[in-house]
Amino acid sequence: MAKNEMLPGTLGMLILRVLQPGALHGYAIAQRIHQLSNELLQVEEGSLYPALQRMLLKGWVLGDWGVSETNRKVRFYRLTTAGRRQLQSEMNDFDRVLTGIQAVLEKA
């Protein structure tokens, strides 16, 4: 895994997580993940937009038109109820897997 790349399968969870406090537009999502990860994680445009399309299709997020801080008309993505449920279940799964991995790493 190269530097700044995401653990496979976790991008969706991170996107859902940063949207939990409130709606964000695409660039803000990438920025937020970058900042919160202490600039460790970088979300590429090529992964962000396919992921967002999948979420729209699954009905986890909805896009609403809004105005950005740079005064551009842009879509803000917000979580739906189904999205919240999905986030919760993904976080639970992730915790379980992480606990498992840590246990192996410590005891082996």
The binding site for another protein (CB under 8 A) comprises 25-27, 30, 44-46, 49-50, 52-54, 56-59, 63, 68, 70, 72-75
Q: Name which of 3 and 73 has its Cβ closer to another protein.
A: 73
Concatenate the DSSP letters of all residues of the chain into one string: --TTPPPTT-HHHHHHHHHSSS-EEHHHHHHHHHHHTTT-----HHHHHHHHHHHHHHTSEEEEEEE-TTS-EEEEEEE-HHHHHHHHHHHHHHHHHHHHHHHHHHH-
Q: Name which of 21 and 46 has its Cβ closer to another protein.
A: 46
Q: Name which of 30 and 33 has its Cβ closer to another protein.
A: 30
Report in angstroms how near the CB of residue 107 gets to another protein at its nearest.
40
Token pair listed for 29: 């999502």
Report in angstroms how near the CB of residue 70 gets to another protein at its nearest.
7
Report in angstroms how near the CB of residue 59 gets to another protein at its nearest.
6
Q: Name which of 82 and 103 has its Cβ closer to another protein.
A: 82
